[in-house]
Amino acid sequence: MAMLKARTNRRQFIQGASSLAAAAALGSTVAGRPAFAQSGPVRVTHFGGPYQVLDEVVGKPFEAAGHGKVEYSASLTPATMGQLQANRANPPFDVVMLSRPAGVRAGRAGLADPIDKSKLPNLAQLQESSLSEDNFGIPFVLDTVEIMYNKTMVGEPITSWLDLWRPELKGKIALPSTSVVFAPDFVALIARALGGDEKDPAAVDAAFAKIVELKDSVRTFTTNPEQASTLMERGEIAATPQFGVRVSSVIRNNPDVTRSFPTEGVAARPYDLLIPTGSPNKDGAYAYIDFIIGKESQERLAAALWATPVNAAVELPADVADKVNTDFDRMIFWDDVIMASVEKDWRTRWERTVQSG
């Protein structure tokens, strides 16, 4: 990724960037960006929790720049997929936020349109490694699957995925249930931690066997990422796999909580924006996606979420740059096709062998 330059502090950065966003965006439109016809508000989903900041750092600047109003709905990947499947002819959204494997499945199932890249001038600024070869979605931020833990409840810092098997953590761990999208990521990460590979069935078998051994250490299986964060904030668990953006949200309010980037690597989770087939406001959808992947929006998102930007031209304030993971060498990008093909089987297996009993 391009070198990140220090720039003022986080609060000044967000406030200043937000107030200037409309003028900057409007100017760039005049300077030659494609004009999009408007057809009512752009209906967009996000994952809730920390992502509610999207209204402030993207939605309001988008509207102030003359692109139209954005109406956000909080909806996790499984719920959004269900909505798209149940409303193929008349989808309730114009842009949906999905985890990449789900986005691949949605596109291949005819629930989302292939992206017309000619309508996204800012696409040229994106990190090439963040893009999906299937072309059904465009990433707007990179999250990671890492370990969140309470420093006061462990003897030594957690540095490996296999540290979750420490005896001191018995009864103090939360693992995701099958309803949490990164359960398959955890299986693949353990396969790698054991020296194998998620593409090797024998290594996957070994990973599942190892995870079954962890069951006695599990206090609860969480039904959504927000629940894991709540348990950590209350001091009810000592460690859990968690999305990096949600780890950041907890760290802001609890100095005892920290994150681990295990030596084996963290799973990169590109969050893609897709345009549902049948959306009545495709022009607005393209305008929104191009706006959110632009340099100014990406800078505001990184400062607000402590999430990895996908735009290589971003410049982060000094007090944010050290909190945002921009080292792509530490991120594991899964093969989207393979992960999409095994996800259903792994979830069923997780429910039967790990979560049950």
Whether 128 has a pLDDT exceeding 70, the answer reads yes
Residue of 104, 177, 101, 95 whose CA lies nearest to 135: 104
Write the pLDDT tens digit of every residue in 238-286. Answer: 999 999 989 998 998 899 999 999 999 999 989 999 999 999 999 999 9
Estimate the crossing angle of helix 295-305 against helix 10-30, to 10 degrees.
160
On average, the pLDDT of the chain sits at 89
- pLDDT band for position 39 (cuts 50, 70, 90): low
Q: Which residue has the higher pLDDT, 39 or 16?
A: 39
**Beta-sheet pairing, 173-176 with 218-222:** parallel
- Low-confidence winner among 48-52, 91-95, 284-288 (lowest mean pLDDT): 48-52
Write the pLDDT tens digit of every residue in 193-226. Answer: 999 999 999 999 999 999 999 999 999 999 999 9
CATH topology of domain 10-137+275-326: D-Maltodextrin-Binding Protein; domain 2 (3.40.190)
Spell out the domain ranges in the chain.
Answer: 10-137+275-326, 143-267+331-355
CB contact set of 280 (below 8 Å; sequence gap of 6+): 39, 40, 94
**Sole residue written with tokens 């009545």:** 280
Whether 179 has a pLDDT exceeding 90, the answer reads no
The reply to whether 10-137+275-326 and 143-267+331-355 are identical in fold is: yes
User: What mean pLDDT comes out for the span 41-59?
Assistant: 96
**Beta-sheet pairing, 42-46 with 70-74:** parallel
CB contact set of 69 (below 8 Å; sequence gap of 6+): 41, 42, 59, 63
**Beta-sheet pairing, 257-260 with 138-150:** antiparallel
Whether 14 has a pLDDT exceeding 60, the answer reads no
The matching CATH number, chosen from 3.10.450.750, 3.30.420.130, 3.60.21.10, 3.40.190.10, for 143-267+331-355 is: 3.40.190.10
Residue 357's pLDDT is 62
Q: Among residues of the chain, what percentage have pLDDT more than 90?
A: 73
Q: Which residue has the higher pLDDT, 167 or 39?
A: 167
